[in-house]
Amino acid sequence: MYIVDRIEDGIAVLECCETETELEVKKSALPKGIREGDVVKLIDGVYTIDREATEKLRNDMRTRLDRLFRNEHLK
């Protein structure tokens, strides 16, 4: 599984969840509508967006940010 870290000049930088290494892939090799923060899987040479994992990741990040800002507010 990979997370789209950034997209620049037609190249997407994917971060491997298991090894924390980066991989550069042409944006054209990824599904249409791909965005930074999407979770993608490579299955039989084809990248697909894992919508469930993407939503979970985004919800987790929102929760962490909410906690961080709440804690900062209390200081």
Instruction: Check which CATH number belongs to the domain holding 61 and give it.
Output: 2.40.50
Query: Total structural domains in the chain?
Result: 1
User: Taking residues 61-72, what's their average pLDDT?
Assistant: 82
Return the percent helix, strand and coil in the chain, to nearest 5.
35, 35, 30
Under 8 Å CB-to-CB from 67, ≥6 apart: which residues? none
Q: Each residue of 30-51: pLDDT tens digit?
A: 999 999 999 999 999 999 999 9
> Which residues span the domain enclosing 51?
2-74
Check residue 75 and give its pLDDT. Answer: 54
Check residue 20 and give its pLDDT. Answer: 87
Would the pTM count as exceeding 0.95?
Answer: no
Distances (CA, A) of 45 to 23, 29, 41, 48: 14, 10, 10, 10
